[in-house]
């Protein structure tokens, strides 16, 4: 049986855990060679080792996505290690303690959140797009969030603003690069049972407040997002660009009215 990403090369940022690790394992199982990128060296190397142990191909690289020189080196690594780039998954992101409403969120939290979640995606595309062009096209997937479509019940204004920006960038990138064979889509997870969110929703009260809005009544799993990313990365999504695929247990369906 042909693997869905056979002979493809994928960069995954934020590969050290959560959605990034789950996607690295999923992509590798479908034949892709993986450049696993993260600032957390130990966690990232653990992801690489899991891919290798499962019979896949992967190389780890430490990358701060806010630094252009490191992002450029990440893309160069895909071309030098595996011969090119076909899939760029801009997944690295933060949800920082202290992110609150507009009145109380410290400026440093705003700056750091926007630098990683927005500038990081933009830099990924700055260096990733030319590599995809050299390959004759490919797929870019950006991790947004359900909060790009609805407000968060627990205030997190910097994170919400950053994910709205990711969604807007995705649409523009899709339009600009459509004739170059480059598809650009977003995946918007709902509340997931990841370390990132569980550290933010650090009390039962906060977790219950989030779950009450989810029709399915549970947190999602990283694997459920990885499966959607796999579709967007594959040729099965050949006529899908500029889309935002919600993986949110029905959350936004319960609150967003059609325009």
Q: How far apart are CA 11 and CA 129, in angstroms?
A: 12
- Could you give the C-alpha distances from 259 to 113, 190, 216, 221, in angstroms and in order? 30, 21, 24, 30
Q: How far apart are CA 159 and CA 26, in angstroms?
A: 27
- Dihedral pair phi/psi, residue 185, rounded to 5°: -135, 165
- 3-state helix/strand/coil string of 10-27: EEEECCCCHHHHHHHHHH
Tell how far CA 91 is from the center of its chain. Answer: 2
Task: Kindly tell me the number of DSSP H helices and DSSP E strands found in the chain.
Answer: 9, 7
Active centre residues (catalytic):
159
């Amino acid at each position: 049986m042909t693997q869905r990403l056979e002979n493809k090369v994928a960069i995954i940022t934020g590969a050290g855990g959560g959605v990034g690790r789950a996607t690295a394992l999923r992509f590798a199982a479908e034949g892709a060679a993986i450049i696993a990128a993260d600032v957390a060296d130990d966690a990232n190397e653990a992801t690489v080792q899991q891919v290798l142990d499962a019979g896949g191909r992967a190389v780890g690289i430490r990358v701060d996505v806010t630094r252009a020189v490191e992002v450029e080196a990440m893309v160069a690594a895909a071309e030098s290690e595996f011969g090119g780039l076909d899939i760029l998954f801009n997944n690295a992101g933060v949800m920082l303690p202290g992110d609150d409403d507009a009145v109380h969120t410290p400026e440093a939290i705003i700056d750091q959140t926007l630098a990683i979640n927005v500038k990081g995606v933009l830099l990924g595309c700055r260096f990733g797009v030319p590599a995809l062009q050299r390959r004759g096209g490919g797929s870019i997937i950006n991790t947004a969030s359900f909060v790009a479509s609805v407000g968060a019940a627990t205030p997190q204004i910097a994170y919400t603003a950053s994910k709205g920006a990711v969604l807007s960038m995705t649409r523009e990138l899709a339009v600009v690069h459509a004739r170059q064979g480059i598809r650009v889509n977003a995946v918007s997870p709902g509340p997931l049972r990841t370390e990132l969110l569980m550290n933010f929703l650090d009390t039962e009260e906060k977790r219950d407040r989030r779950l009450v809005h989810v029709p399915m009544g549970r947190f999602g799993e990283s694997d459920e997002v990885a499966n959607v990313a796999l579709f967007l990365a594959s040729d099965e999504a050949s006529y899908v660009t500029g889309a935002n695929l919600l993986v949110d247990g029905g959350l936004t369906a319960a609150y967003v009215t059609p325009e």
